[in-house]
Structure 1
């Protein structure tokens, strides 16, 4: 930020010719000590004025407290107290109590690297205080004038065709630093100056922004990446963040914060106005998904070609995400970017149970990126044509719900078999079906459940079952007859055998 007037510093006071101030000794003095901001100028001849001082002051004294020529230790203790309180400089009025600067005082200031300057008799202390006060007032007026001019320039920039991009550029120029705008997906959509960050810093900043967006809370934050401080300001409402503005600057003064607040308000309003268009676009995509579910892609092909480019060429894979409603907007933002980058190789839209994403068979880079960025689970169908779209959505939903990893192909869960998909309801029915046998075994000490399972596993062979159980085949026949009586079922029926086998599998999938 350019400051049109000198910042109130000790150096600025020393260069005022009308005050005739002179620095006592700059040997060993850090040049930056003269450039610290002077918040006020105060005068006191107390031996310990620190209870009445605040940090960032210049103290003026005539040395009355040093009458009687105290030893060097007294001067050293005095200067140490001032330094500990944050006093930025000490002015000594000469020819009032004594001529010239006390050597012991100069030595103590040199030891603590405290700037010591002489105030000649003809310069009233009030003149030094007034000069600093005038500098503070001039700086305050200049900063407020700058803030008003900056807000006018930013408001005019917002009226340009790319209002958001122009606003970001104007804010960067006014603050004289890098400014970037990230969208709801955490992608850098606008920046000024272009490529103003090195690749490592840019990637680290993107990760920080993604974390802020994933938390979903509206807030401002500060961080440091390497040697560069950054301020992050969210855009949008809590739970519905529309992006983040990042500024390569640390703490801003009140005027700077006011300018940034104005930009945040304008950018947030612009993004909220775009939300209606985004909703309409999302509704259209959802409608196209519904038409694809009819396994007739003709209408979807026509509309998609006009708006987003052609649908991915068959064979395709269909994916379904578990994105909650509150996260769908952010996921859609990222997918919109990928659609623009990869026209004809990606389509997506809201389905009945999550976002539906269509990619060419085997090309899952976008799916992996979404799963990693947002911590989602995604199921992927087997390769298919658009005439099998509805079946593919069903496969992807099953793969998503039953998969263990972030992206699960349907082929992985299909290998586990149909019965592995049975849930608690099936197990409850199985327990009810087999309860009479279990009760009989418990009450009578029989082995009916074990015998039935062995017989079914041995393809209903009495001889093989007998060998597996270590009993005679007539024993197997007798037990199976008892099973029929206890259950009231005919084991010669294939349907009965299949149902009992499924019940046993549901209770013991191994």
Structure 2
């Protein structure tokens, strides 16, 4: 364990007694970096912070008796006066134990000394002025029994420090071995990150080169909001295209970010969150995991690309009618295909990111026999049981994607389902991110015309009118819409437009000549109305 004042007080053979500082738990548990003895009036020029200073109090005896150390000129330290001469002058200037004790303690506190130990060899008890000064300045004071040699305390601290370092080294070596063993498992990357969580008592998240979280099932769930907090920092680290790390301290504890891979082709970012800052052994372990994770991400990317090509090939087989052959192959690789009837979903756009495919792969592993997915015609396509589309819909929406979904179909009618899904996807938008083909039927004939390419046909029909000079085009379009809104009645439409009905007739006749239509016929009127609705 780490050497602390509390640790020394528990060593019965040292015969130590705490005089002041019992109410300061932090001071008692603060690690001691050293223990050393000195009876100089001012030893601080030779001290570093965080240690236990031991003294027999002889300097207090000399000052109270009116004596003083040798003058500066009598020093035999080889000319090393410097800061020491100031200490000698300060001691020579004091004539009362209380005054000297307060100045002495102030110097120790300013130098960062963690505690003071005074032996009862010279004094029967610690001088009251020293006790008062330590209590006033908040410096823990320990009484050292006359039977206890200072070397025993120094040795206890140095031995405990060495033992702590040995334990940390053993911990580090064992942790490194555990991570290396985990990397050899079939699920190497997941196993490595889980081992890192276990060894550091932390949570871990991995982001790919595009800044998306890699869907790995680690043991510890990050605190709510923690990942949102680091996303911007992850993207900035990737944008710099340089190796590096960052440490964030905030509401979610201490968070460390480390890039993976070699610039400029970074593979991602490893995020480690803990309640306290990582020690050196923890940082060393993270460094080892970074190397393993970088290799694993490269391997995973190549494997995912191969799986993607295989899935796309099986989907092509099924669309060509070889459902039975594709189903046998899929079952050997991933498990059975979803049972009929199924629904086909097609992502509108943005589904090219590999991280989405990884998330779908994980979802399919969790739900065997309930999901198949592949890429087709530059779109990501999923096939689920007809009553089990909700998980796919939730996943797509969490990635900010829009999609269309078919009506229930059989595997033999997969091409019909795919066509319906593609049509529904064209109607999806931010305000309506997931559109079922069933809903389009509810939108009426125009909805079906729009999803089946009716808008392009309507534009070709209206092209001569759309190509007219802008002023003429706008007037004729306004006239047609007003006329159609009034069920092709001349007088109400003319009054709305503020023109004579003969002027209205002339404009409609001009449209007939441009488009080659006879608007006296209901069929031509209906065709023109539908075209206007689809192009508007």
User: Is it true that 1:116 corresponds to 2:141 in the alignment?
Assistant: yes
**Residue 433 of structure 2 corresponds to which residue in structure 1?**
406
State whether residues 260 and 291 of structure 2, in contact with CA within 8 Å, keep that contact through their aligned partners in structure 1.
no
What is the CA deviation profile of residues 86-111 of structure 1, one whole-angstrom value per residue up to 9, with x for unaligned ones? Answer: 43201336666x66422122123234
- RMSD (CA atoms): 5.0
Matches within 5 A, 1:106-505: 106-118=131-143, 132-156=157-181, 158-159=183-184, 177=201, 189=217, 191=219, 202=221, 204-205=222-223, 208=226, 215=234, 237=261, 240-241=267-268, 250-266=276-292, 268-270=294-296, 272-294=298-320, 297-321=323-347, 324=350, 327-328=353-354, 330-403=355-428, 404-412=431-439, 415=443, 417=447, 418=449, 433-434=465-466, 436=468, 439=471, 449-457=477-485, 462=490, 474=502, 476-481=504-509, 487=514, 491=518, 501=529, 504-505=532-533
Work out which of the residue numbers 7, 23, 34 in structure 1 matches 2:28.
34
**CA apart distance, 1:285:** 0.8
Would the alpha carbon gap of residues 83 and 394 (structure 1) be closer, same or farther in structure 2, given more than 3 Å must change?
farther
Would the alpha carbon gap of residues 477 and 210 (structure 1) be closer, same or farther in structure 2, given more than 3 Å must change?
closer
Would the alpha carbon gap of residues 326 and 209 (structure 1) be closer, same or farther in structure 2, given more than 3 Å must change?
farther
Work out which of the residue numbers 96, 99, 103 in structure 2 matches 1:69.
96
What is the CA deviation profile of residues 141-167 of structure 1, one whole-angstrom value per residue up to 9, with x for unaligned ones? Answer: 443244234434544555567666776
Whole-Å separation in 2 of the counterparts to 1:179 and 1:478 = 76
**CA apart distance, 1:291:** 2.8
State whether residues 233 and 246 of structure 1, in contact with CA within 8 Å, keep that contact through their aligned partners in structure 2.
yes
Whole-Å separation in 2 of the counterparts to 1:91 and 1:364 = 72
Whole-Å separation in 2 of the counterparts to 1:291 and 1:270 = 31
**Secondary structure in 2 matching 1:101:** coil
State whether residues 22 and 118 of structure 1, in contact with CA within 8 Å, keep that contact through their aligned partners in structure 2.
yes
Whole-Å separation in 1 of the counterparts to 2:460 and 2:258 = 50
Whole-Å separation in 2 of the counterparts to 1:440 and 1:157 = 75
What is the CA deviation profile of residues 388-441 of structure 1, one whole-angstrom value per residue up to 9, with x for unaligned ones? Answer: 433433443444454223323244466273469888998899687256475459
Out of 359-368 and 268-277, give the one that drifted further. Answer: 268-277
**Residue 115 of structure 2 corresponds to which residue in structure 1?**
89
Whole-Å separation in 2 of the counterparts to 1:484 and 1:425 = 18
Whole-Å separation in 2 of the counterparts to 1:186 and 1:433 = 53
**Secondary structure in 2 matching 1:139:** helix
**Secondary structure in 1 matching 2:95:** coil
State whether residues 315 and 383 of structure 1, in contact with CA within 8 Å, keep that contact through their aligned partners in structure 2.
yes
Would the alpha carbon gap of residues 372 and 449 (structure 1) be closer, same or farther in structure 2, given more than 3 Å must change?
closer
Would the alpha carbon gap of residues 51 and 423 (structure 1) be closer, same or farther in structure 2, given more than 3 Å must change?
farther
Out of 115-124 and 366-375, give the one that drifted further. Answer: 115-124
Whole-Å separation in 2 of the counterparts to 1:250 and 1:306 = 47
**CA apart distance, 1:348:** 0.8
Instruction: Give the TM-score, by structure 2 length.
Output: 0.69
Whole-Å separation in 2 of the counterparts to 1:40 and 1:262 = 32
Instruction: Give the TM-score, by structure 1 length.
Output: 0.71
Whole-Å separation in 2 of the counterparts to 1:369 and 1:488 = 47
**CA apart distance, 1:324:** 4.1
Would the alpha carbon gap of residues 365 and 239 (structure 1) be closer, same or farther in structure 2, given more than 3 Å must change?
farther
State whether residues 234 and 245 of structure 1, in contact with CA within 8 Å, keep that contact through their aligned partners in structure 2.
yes
Whole-Å separation in 2 of the counterparts to 1:119 and 1:290 = 85
Work out which of the residue numbers 5, 9, 16 in structure 2 matches 1:10.
5
**Residue 22 of structure 1 corresponds to which residue in structure 2?**
16
**CA apart distance, 1:136:** 2.9
Would the alpha carbon gap of residues 249 and 322 (structure 1) be closer, same or farther in structure 2, given more than 3 Å must change?
farther
Would the alpha carbon gap of residues 304 and 23 (structure 1) be closer, same or farther in structure 2, given more than 3 Å must change?
same
Whole-Å separation in 1 of the counterparts to 2:97 and 2:395 = 75
Would the alpha carbon gap of residues 359 and 493 (structure 1) be closer, same or farther in structure 2, given more than 3 Å must change?
farther
**CA apart distance, 1:496:** 7.8
